[in-house]
Amino acid sequence: MGAIRLRAPGKINWTLDVTGRRPDGYHEVEILMQSISLWDDIVLTECDAGIQVCGNAAEMPLDESNLAAKAARLIQDQFGITRGIRIDITKRIPVAAGLAGGSTNAAAVLAGLNALWGLGLSRSRLAELGTALGADVPFCIYGGTAAARGIGEKITPLPPLEGISLVLIKPPFGVSTASVYQSLKVDRIPLHPNWKKAYDLLAAGNFHSLRCHMGNVLELVTINKHPEIKEIKACLDKAGASVTMMTGSGPAVFGVFEAAAHAQKAAEKLKSVYSQVYCVSTCSTGVEITEGGSL
Ligand code: ATP
């Protein structure tokens, strides 16, 4: 029986714009996505039959509703595989935070089972399969930095923005992505961010001008429901962040810092106020096999 170990990084959005609503209710988006150095460890161990999920986070379901289990079921069904799999998830990415925790776990299972069961699927085929599980799954297969269009599933990989220091704060509550999108009035978005300008400024290390072009149109919606997010942004600002923003539908918020040492110092200080503070940096890869095979 084989086993494989993977690293599944979370993601933030440098920009998140909603450009329309489709007749099927999904929103058309333009997002500049970024992998970060905060990851879950996933171990896949082959067994005789079925799908079993084990994990260390109380908020994460361990039944068939877990996105990792759904990914395994998809592979079994698509390729007529009768062998079973045990999925062990060591969670570090906060759950329901806007950091794509479930999506990156699903992406890791797709990539891991592709290797474990010798399916020979390309990254683009894995990303295509992942779309059925969630709009963020394709990005998590590629990772690094990418522009996402459509409902977030059409990915254009960009030269990765690597090694940018961030301080991430997760307030002590979760947010439902669906309810945030439901509350958004698409025709009343006051300011649309510009992902291309934000990308160019980040690539040039010009963090001061970022404020004008970075932006997340869901931020105001979530702040309306949870004003604490505004306070967290103010704290990050005060701690010296060049710019602060909520990621995805929230509620996690990040601040961009020019120097790693400065970010570290700010994170230490903020830990006396908030219990979930992470000092991370941007990275160039998505899900990766760390033991037992290769992508
Ligand atoms: P999304 O934007 O897709 O809603 P998110 O990044 O904000 O996701 P997740 O950590 O993926 O948040 O959690 C969203 C919901 O998915 C949670 O309510 C959680 O119970 C459920 N979930 C299912 N599988 C997983 C998983 N493997 N890891 C984390 N959450 C999961």
Distance CA 59, CA 268 (A): 26
What DSSP designation does 156 have? E
Distance CA 238, CA 236 (A): 5
pLDDT of the residue at 91: 98
Beta carbon of 177 within 6 Å of any ligand 1 atom: yes
pLDDT above 90 (res 294): no
Distance CA 107, CA 138 (A): 7
Sorted by where each begins, the domain ranges of the chain are: 3-159, 165-281
Query: How many other C-beta atoms lie within 10 A of the C-beta of residue 110?
Result: 25
pLDDT digits (tens, 9 = 90+) for 230-277: 999 999 999 999 999 999 999 999 999 999 999 999 999 999 999 999
More confident residue, 190 or 41: 41
Helix (H, G, I), strand (E, B) or coil at 139: helix
pLDDT above 90 (res 168): yes
pLDDT above 80 (res 75): yes
Please provide the DSSP assignment of 70-98 as one string. HHHHHHHHHHT---EEEEEEE--SPTTSS
CA distances from 106 to 11, 117, 121, 137, 254 (A): 14, 16, 16, 7, 24
* Cα 16 to averaged position of ligand 1 atoms, centre (Å): 19
The band of 25, judged by pLDDT with boundaries at 50, 70 and 90, is confident
Distance CA 134, CA 22 (A): 16
Global pTM value: 0.95
What is the architecture of the domain spanning 165-281? 2-Layer Sandwich (3.30)
If you average pLDDT over residues 26-50, what whole number do you get?
97
Beta strands in the chain (DSSP E): 3-21, 27-47, 51-55, 84-90, 145-149, 154-158, 165-169, 215-216, 243-246, 253-257, 277-281, 288-291
pLDDT of the residue at 211: 87
pLDDT above 80 (res 41): yes
The neighbouring-strand residues paired with 16 are: 31, 216
pLDDT of the residue at 244: 97
Residue nearest to atom 20 of ligand 1 (CA): 60
Token look-up 């592979």 returns: 75
Q: Given the residues 17, 91, 136, 233, select the one marked as catalytic.
A: 136
Distance CA 112, CA 191 (A): 40
Residues 6 or more apart in contact with residue 266 via CB below 8 angstroms: 167, 236, 239, 240, 241, 255, 257
Measured CA angle at 154 (ends 153, 156), to 5 deg: 125
- Whether 3-159 shares its CATH topology with 165-281 is answered no
Beta carbon of 97 within 6 Å of any ligand 1 atom: yes
The chain-wide mean pLDDT, for the chain, equals 95
Region 3-159: CATH code = 3.30.230.10
If you average pLDDT over residues 169-183, what whole number do you get?
92
Distance CA 223, CA 139 (A): 26
Measured CA angle at 236 (ends 235, 240), to 5 deg: 115
pLDDT of the residue at 174: 87
In the residue annotation, 48 being an active-site residue is answered as no
Helix %, strand %, coil % of the chain (to 5) = 35, 30, 35
Beta carbon of 57 within 6 Å of any ligand 1 atom: no
pLDDT digits (tens, 9 = 90+) for 105-126: 999 999 999 999 999 999 999 9
End-to-end CA distance of the chain: 19
The best mutation among 60, 153, 254 to test binding of ligand 1, ranked by most ligand atoms within 8 Å of the C-beta, falls on: 60
pLDDT above 90 (res 143): yes
What DSSP designation does 282 have? B
Distance CA 53, CA 47 (A): 12
pLDDT above 80 (res 280): yes
